[in-house]
Amino acid sequence: MSDELIDRVFGREGLIARFHENYEYREGQVEMAAHVADAFHARKHLMVEAGTGTGKTLAYLVPAIAAAVGQKTRIVISTGTKNLQEQLMEKDIPFLKKVLPTKFTAAYMKGRSNYACLYRITKAEDQPVLDGLDQIDNFRKIARWVKETETGDRRELVDLPENLPFWNRINARGEICIGQKCPDFEPCFITRMRNRAEAADIIVVNHHLFFADLSVRGNQFGKVIPDYGAVIFDEAHLIEDIASDYFGSQVSNFQIDELVRDIDGLPIHDPVVTRELTKLAAKVSGLSETFWMRFSQAKFDGRYPLLPDAFAYRNSLGGTDPTALGEAYEALDNALKSLEKETDGFAADMPEAESLLKRTRQARFDLEFIATQTERNFVYWIERRGKGIYLRASPVDVSELLREKLFEKVETCILTSATLSSGGSFNFIRERLGLDTAKTNAFTAPSSFDHERQAVLYLPKAMPDPRSNEFTQLAAGEIVKILQVTNGHAFVLCTSNFSMNALYELVSSRVNFPCFVQGSMSKAGILDRFRTTKNAVLFATTSFWQGVDVQGDQLSCVIIDKLPFAVPSDPIVAARSRFIDDQGGRSFLDYSVPQAVITLKQGIGRLIRSRTDRGVIAILDPRLRTKPYGRQFLESLPRMRIVSDPEQIREVLTSL
Between 345-359, 481-495, 632-646, the lowest mean confidence (pLDDT) is in 345-359
Cα angle for residues 65, 69, 72 (degrees, 5° grid): 130
Q: What is the pLDDT of residue 447?
A: 87
Find the DSSP H helices in 154-270.
167-170, 189-198, 207-216, 239-246, 253-264
Task: For the chain, give the mean pLDDT.
Answer: 90
What residue numbers bound the domain in which 290 lies? Answer: 249-393
Q: Which of 373, 393, 413 is the last residue of a domain?
A: 393
pLDDT at 167 over 90: no
Q: How confident is the model at residue 549 (pLDDT cuts 50, 70, 90)?
A: confident
Residues 292 and 387 in one domain: yes
Q: What is the mean pLDDT of residues 146-174?
A: 84
The CATH number for 289's domain is 1.10.275
pLDDT in tens, 185-204: 899 999 999 999 999 999 99
The pLDDT value given to residue 300: 81
Same domain? 85 vs 51: yes
**Same domain flag for 254 and 337:** yes
Residues 608 and 555 in one domain: yes
| DSSP code, position 377 | T
Looking at the domain assignment, is residue 101 inside a domain?
yes
Number of H helices, E strands in the chain: 28, 20
> 533 pLDDT exceeds 90?
yes
For residue 522, being part of any structural domain is answered with yes
> What local confidence, expressed as pLDDT, does residue 628 receive?
94
Provide mean pLDDT across the span 262-283. 88
**Span 28-33, mean pLDDT?**
94
**pLDDT (0 to 100) of residue 161:** 75
Query: Among 323-327, 394-398, 488-492, which stretch is predicted with the lowest mean pLDDT?
Result: 323-327
Residues 6+ apart with CB under 8 A from 174: 112, 221, 224
pLDDT over 80 at 571, yes or no: yes
Q: What is the dihedral of CA 311, 314, 318, 320, to 10 degrees?
A: -20
Query: What is the Cβ-side half-sphere exposure of residue 254, based on CA atoms within 13 angstroms?
Result: 13
Residues 427, 481 within the same domain: no
Q: What is the count of structural domains for the chain?
A: 4
Q: How confident is residue 134, by pLDDT bands cut at 50, 70 and 90?
A: low
pLDDT number for residue 250 = 94
pLDDT at 570 over 70: yes
Percent of the chain predicted with pLDDT > 90: 64
The CATH code of the domain that includes 559 is 3.40.50.300
pLDDT interval class at 22 (50, 70, 90): confident
Percent over 70 (pLDDT), the chain: 96
Starting at the edge strand found earlier in the chain, the sheet holding 302-305 runs: 249-252, 388-395, 378-385, 302-305
pLDDT of residue 313: 57
> 226 pLDDT band (50/70/90 cuts)?
very high
User: How confident is residue 217, by pLDDT bands cut at 50, 70 and 90?
Assistant: confident
Residue 323 confidence (pLDDT): 80
* Residue 358 shares a structural domain with residue 375: yes
Residues 89 and 45 in one domain: yes
Residue 654: which pLDDT band, with cuts at 50, 70 and 90? confident
Among 262-266, 487-491, 556-560, 567-571, the least confident range: 262-266
Question: pLDDT tier at 656 (50, 70, 90 boundaries)?
Answer: low
* Same domain, residue pair 130 and 207: no
Q: Determine the Cα–Cα distance for residues 109 and 210; give it in Å rounded to an integer.
A: 10
Residues 411 and 388 in one domain: no
What's the rounded Cα separation, in Å, for the pair 282 and 294? 19
Is 267 part of a structural domain of the chain? yes
Residue 597 counted as domain residue:
yes
551 and 510, same structural domain? Answer: yes
Report how far residue 590's alpha carbon sits from residue 609's, in angstroms, rounded to the nearest whole number: 30
Mark residue 385 as left, alpha or beta (left: phi above 0; alpha: psi -120 to 50; beta: remaining): beta
pLDDT of residue 559 exceeding 90: yes
User: Contact at 8 Å (CB) between 592 and 428?
Assistant: no
Say if 195 falls within a structural domain.
Answer: no
> In the chain, what is the straight-line distance between the N-terminal and C-terminal CA atoms, in Å?
40
Spatial CB neighbours of 221, under 8 Å, sequence gap ≥ 6: 174, 175
pLDDT of residue 202: 97
On whether both 438 and 488 belong to a single domain, the answer is: no
Looking at the predicted structure, is the pLDDT value of residue 314 above 60? no
- H helix or E strand, kind and range, residue 120: helix 118-124
Amino acid at 248: G
| Shared domain check, 254 and 234 | no
Q: Which tens digits make up the pLDDT trace of 66-96?
A: 999 988 999 999 999 888 888 899 999 999 9
Which is more confidently placed, 561 or 129?
Answer: 561
For the segment 12-33, the average pLDDT, to the nearest whole number, is: 88
Residue 127, pLDDT score: 60
